[in-house]
Amino acid sequence: MSSVKVAITIDSGTLERVDGLVARKVYPNRSRAIQSAVAEKLARMERGRLASECAKLDPKFEKALAEEGLGQEFDTWPAY
């Protein structure tokens, strides 16, 4: 995936923490540290959205839907 250069504004305390990670060689540079943090935050937000959508599902209905058709004879199913 190609990278694109962007400019951001960040408070000095947060930048000091990022620089600390770079100084301890957790990340090779500020860009990698910030890129990792943004990617992790986006992934967490996506998992949260998935969890909230799953919470809206009716477990009884979903189970019935999943089991629909399981009453058929298993010997009529194709071999894999």
Q: Give the count of beta carbons closer than 10 Å to the beta carbon of residue 69.
A: 7
- Comparing 57 with 6, the larger pLDDT belongs to 6
The predicted-structure confidence for 20-56, as pLDDT tens digits, reads as follows 999 999 999 999 999 999 999 999 888 888 778 888 8
The overall average pLDDT reported for the chain is 87
Q: What is the identity of the amino acid at 46?
A: E
Domain ranges of the chain: 12-68
pTM for this predicted structure: 0.59
Positive or negative, the CA dihedral 15, 20, 23, 25 is: negative
pLDDT above 70 as % of the chain: 86
Under 8 Å CB-to-CB from 33, ≥6 apart: which residues? Answer: 18, 21, 22, 26, 27
For residue 7, count CB atoms less than 10 angstroms from its CB and return exposed for 0-12, middle for 13-18, buried for 19 or more. exposed
